[in-house]
Amino acid sequence: MDLKDDDLQSYGGESVASSRSLMPDDMLPSDKTMIPQRRNLKDPNHLYMPRWIRGDGKQREGWCGACRPGKWLSLKRSTYWYHKNFCHGITVMGTPSPRPTRTRALADDKGYEGFCGTCNKWIVLNGGKKSHTSWFRHAYKVCLQPCPRMASI
């Protein structure tokens, strides 16, 4: 497979672009099954589907171009699903998870809380690098699951 400059420019889908330092390891690996393949998506605005995949079977991986720098994640062990849902708040449907309707600082100024319009509760948004994951976990459990009342109808 010949990779063209425009392929390298769009590698990462969301533009990890001209990062040619990625090329030797990621674009031209010694293992031929790990050469990335561009996916043509029916909907180019779908945020969940990886634009690039590589590998076969248990080694199949999808590229997360939303990360800086981008990274490869396993498609067979739900690593990609977990990452997109809980790190970026992107659902399998390709849409963003609901965001807090309001935020406020905690009393000790060590973090924030987000208000959930679905359950009408304040959810702690932990301070630090992973602050978003607690909100996205909550959104997945409360906002994105079918309502128990509706499921019984």
For residue 25, what pLDDT is reported?
Answer: 62
**pLDDT tens digits along 52-96:** 999 999 999 999 999 988 899 999 999 999 999 999 999 999 999
Q: Between the CA atoms of 92, 94, 95 and 96, what dihedral angle is there, to the nearest 10 degrees?
A: 70
Looking only at the bridges linking them, the beta strands covering 112-116 and 121-125 are antiparallel
Question: What's the CA gap between 112 and 124, in Å, rounded?
Answer: 6
Residues 14 and 52 in one domain: yes
| 106 and 36 within one domain | no
pLDDT per residue as tens digits for the range 95-150: 999 999 999 998 887 888 999 999 999 998 875 555 568 899 999 998 776 544 43
94 domain-assigned: no
**Helices 131-138 and 79-86: angle between axes, nearest 10 degrees:** 100
25 and 81 together in one domain: yes
Whether residues 79 and 109 fall in one domain: no
Burial of 12: CB neighbours in 10 Å, binned 0-12, 13-18, 19+: buried
Residue 129, pLDDT score: 57
